[in-house]
C-alpha cells in the first residue's frame, strides 16, 4: 500500500461539514425535576457549524469545558447527536457501529490527546499498525506488501529507520514517539480527514512543535483536512489556516487564523488572547487582572444564560445581549471574519448605545501580536 500522497482531490475541497451540530447530555433527574417535568441536560454543544477542507487546518479553540472534544467525538461518530447534521462530501451521515461506521472511520480518523492511553501497552508498534492496515484493507496481499506498508507508515511520521521502532512496545517509546505511532495508525486507514484532539497538550514542551510540524507536513503531502483542537490560541495562529473560537458550547468567532488572532473581534476572544501565556509578560503567565475584567467563571451548561452565553462575563454587555442570541455578524475587515456579538450590529449599538465595537477597541485594545508560547515551542 502507498499512502495517497497529494491525492487528486483539489486543495480546498470540502470533506466534512458540521451543520447546526448539537449535543445535550442528559443528567440524572432530581425529585424536583420529576415534579416540574423538566429534563435536565448539559448543553455541551449547540448549533455548531464548521467545514473541514482538503489541505487545510481548522483550529477549534476555547477554554476547558467549552465543548471542543464533544465536537470532535460527534464528528468521529462516537456520540449520537441531539440535533444537526454531519455531511461527508455533502451527504448526511449517521452511523451506529458496524460496517457503516468502519466505512466512515476509514475516511475520518480521530487522534486522541493521550498517546499513553490510546496505545495498548501489551502490544507492539507492529501489532497496532498491522491491525489498522488490515481493518481498512490497506495491508496488501503478501507479507512483503505488509512490511512495505508498515515501513511506509513509520517513515511518514519520521520514525526512521522503521526497523528501530517496529517491534517496540509503547513503554519503550517517548511520549512524542508514541504520538507519532498514534498518528501513523490513523494514517493506516489512508483517511481524508484527521480530527486531532489536543494532540500535543500531554507532551513534553520540547517536542510539541515537532508533532505540529509533522501534522502540517501531512496536511500538505497527503492533502488532509485537519481539525486541530487546542486551548492554546497562539499555536492555532502558527498551525491553522482557519480558527474558530468556542465559548460554553457555542461558536463565538471565526475567520482566517491571522485575522482572528491578530485582530480578534469578540470580547471573549480578546480575553482568551490576553490571558494566553506570553513569554513577554512577567514570568510568562497570564495577567490575573485580565480575566477579572471578564468577571469570573464560565456559566453552568445545565442552565446556560439566555442571549449570548458570554454576557455575564462580558464587560460590554448590553441589555439585548442578555435576551437575544447574537447571530454570526460579518466584521468586514477580512472576508469570512465573523463574530456572534451584538456589538457588531450597528442598529443594536445605536439603540442601546452602551458600547460600540469602536469602544471595545479602546476598552480592550487589540492584544499584542501573539507569538508561539513557550508551551507550544
Ligand atoms: N459524557 C458526558 N456526560 C455528561 N457531560 C459531559 C460528557 N462529556 C462532556 N460533558 C460536559 O460537556 C461539556 C463540554 O465538555 P468537553 O470535554 O467537550 O469540553 P472541552 O472544551 O473539550 O474541555 P477540555 O479541554 O477540558 O477537554 C463539559 O461541561 C463537560 O463536563
Give the start-to-end residue ranges of the domains of the chain. 14-27+39-240, 258-368
Report whether pLDDT(344) > 50.
Answer: yes
Q: Check pocket membership of 70 for ligand 1, CB cut-off 6 A.
A: yes
pLDDT-derived band at 279, boundaries 50, 70, 90:
very low
Closest CA to ligand 1's atom 26: 64
**Other residues' Cβ atoms within 10 Å of the Cβ of residue 264:** 27
Closest CA to ligand 1's atom 25: 64
Q: Which of helix, strand or coil describes residue 348? A: helix
Give the pLDDT confidence of 46-88 residue by residue, as tens digits: 999 999 999 999 999 999 999 999 999 999 999 999 999 999 9
Report whether pLDDT(360) > 60.
Answer: no
pLDDT, position 27: 87
Q: Check pocket membership of 230 for ligand 1, CB cut-off 6 A.
A: no
Instruction: Give the atom of ligand 1 at the shortest distance from the alpha carbon of 197.
Output: 22
pLDDT, position 254: 97
Q: Check pocket membership of 79 for ligand 1, CB cut-off 6 A.
A: no
Instruction: Give the atom of ligand 1 at the shortest distance from the alpha carbon of 229.
Output: 22
Rounded to whole angstroms, the Cα distance separating 357 from 377 reads 34
Give the pLDDT confidence of 238-253 residue by residue, as tens digits: 899 999 999 999 999 9
Contact status, residue 183 vs residue 215, Cβ threshold 8 Å:
yes
Instruction: Tell me the three cell numbers of residue 108.
Output: 475520518
Closest CA to ligand 1's atom 14: 67
Q: Which of helix, strand or coil describes residue 61? A: strand
Q: Indicate the average pLDDT of the chain.
A: 86
Query: Hey, CA dihedral for 241, 53, 252, 344, is it positive or negative?
Result: positive
pLDDT, position 72: 96
Q: What angle do CA 193, 175, 53 make, to 5 degrees?
A: 15
**What is the third-level CATH fold of 14-27+39-240?**
Rossmann fold (3.40.50)
pLDDT, position 66: 94
Rounded to whole angstroms, the Cα distance separating 247 from 252 reads 6
Contact status, residue 188 vs residue 151, Cβ threshold 8 Å:
no
Instruction: Give the atom of ligand 1 at the shortest distance from the alpha carbon of 23.
Output: 12
Instruction: Tell me the three cell numbers of residue 255.
Output: 475567520
CA of 301 to the centre of ligand 1 (A): 10
Residue with cell 477549534: 60
Q: Check pocket membership of 175 for ligand 1, CB cut-off 6 A.
A: no
pLDDT, position 102: 86
pLDDT, position 157: 96
pLDDT, position 337: 97
Mean pLDDT of 151-179: 95
pLDDT, position 296: 67
Rounded to whole angstroms, the Cα distance separating 359 from 375 reads 33
Q: What is the CA radius of gyration of the chain?
A: 22
pLDDT, position 282: 35
Amino acid at each position: 500500500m502507498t499512502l495517497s500522497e497529494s491525492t487528486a482531490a483539489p486543495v480546498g475541497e470540502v470533506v466534512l461539514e458540521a451543520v447546526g451540530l448539537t449535543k445535550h447530555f442528559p443528567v440524572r433527574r432530581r425529585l424536583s425535576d420529576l415534579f416540574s417535568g423538566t429534563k435536565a441536560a448539559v448543553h455541551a454543544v449547540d448549533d455548531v457549524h464548521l467545514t473541514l477542507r482538503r489541505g487545510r487546518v481548522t483550529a477549534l479553540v476555547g477554554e476547558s469545558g467549552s465543548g471542543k472534544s464533544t465536537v470532535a467525538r460527534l464528528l468521529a461518530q462516537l456520540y449520537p447527536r441531539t440535533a444537526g447534521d454531519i455531511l461527508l462530501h455533502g451527504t448526511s451521515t449517521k452511523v451506529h457501529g458496524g460496517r457503516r461506521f468502519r466505512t466512515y472511520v476509514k475516511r475520518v480518523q480521530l487522534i486522541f490527546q493521550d498517546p499513553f492511553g490510546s496505545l495498548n501497552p501489551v502490544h507492539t508498534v507492529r501489532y497496532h499498525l498491522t491491525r489498522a492496515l488490515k481493518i481498512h484493507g490497506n495491508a496488501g496481499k503478501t507479507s512483503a506488501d505488509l512490511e512495505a506498508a508498515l515501513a511506509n507508515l513509520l517513515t511518514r511520521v519520521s520514525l526512521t529507520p522503521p526497523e528501530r521502532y517496529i517491534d517496540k512496545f509503547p513503554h519503550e517509546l517517548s511520549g512524542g514517539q508514541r504520538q507519532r505511532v498514534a498518528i501513523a495508525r490513523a494514517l493506516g486507514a489512508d483517511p481524508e480527514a484527521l480530527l486531532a484532539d489536543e494532540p500535543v497538550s500531554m507532551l513534553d514542551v520540547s517536542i510539541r512543535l515537532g508533532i505540529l510540524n509533522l501534522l502540517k507536513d501531512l496536511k500538505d503531502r497527503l492533502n488532509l483536512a485537519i481539525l486541530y483542537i487546542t486551548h492554546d490560541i497562539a499555536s492555532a495562529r502558527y498551525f491553522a489556516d482557519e480558527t474558530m473560537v468556542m465559548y460554553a458550547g457555542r461558536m463565538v468567532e471565526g475567520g482566517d487564523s491571522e485575522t482572528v488572532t491578530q485582530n480578534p473581534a469578540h470580547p471573549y476572544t480578546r480575553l482568551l488572547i490576553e490571558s494566553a501565556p506570553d513569554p513577554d509578560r512577567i514570568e510568562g503567565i497570564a495577567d490575573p487582572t485580565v480575566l477579572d475584567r471578564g468577571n469570573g467563571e464560565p456559566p453552568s451548561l445545565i442552565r446556560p444564560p439566555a442571549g449570548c452565553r458570554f454576557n455575564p462575563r462580558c464587560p460590554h454587555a448590553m441589555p439585548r445581549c442578555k435576551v437575544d442570541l447574537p447571530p454570526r455578524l460579518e466584521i468586514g475587515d477580512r472576508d469570512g471574519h465573523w463574530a456572534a456579538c451584538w456589538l457588531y450590529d450597528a442598529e443594536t449599538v445605536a439603540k442601546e448605545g452602551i458600547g460600540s465595537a469602536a469602544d471595545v477597541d479602546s476598552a480592550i485594545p487589540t492584544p499584542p501580536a501573539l507569538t508561539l508560547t513557550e508551551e507550544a515551542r
